[in-house]
Amino acid sequence: MLTIFSITRKTIPVITKLSNTKKELALARANPHLTCFTFLTFLILSYLT
């Protein structure tokens, strides 16, 4: 039971990250300017977590 809970707790942020990435990618297509910044931010976030 505890393992399922911990897995869920780990999976939820990943899912939200993925959906945020999709939004950021859509924004990047609309605004090529932000692509590099978004990529760097995502790298920093993935490094910290």
Please give the pLDDT value at position 38: 73
Check residue 39 and give its pLDDT. 78
Res 34: pLDDT: 62
> What does the pLDDT read at residue 35?
66
Give pLDDT tens digits for 7-48.
677 777 777 787 777 877 777 676 666 666 777 788 787 887
pLDDT number for residue 33: 63
Amino acid 7: pLDDT: 67
So what's the pLDDT on residue 23?
A: 78
In DSSP notation, 1-49 reads -HHHHHHHHHHHHHHHHHHHHHHHHHHHHH-GGGHHHHHHHHHHHHHH-
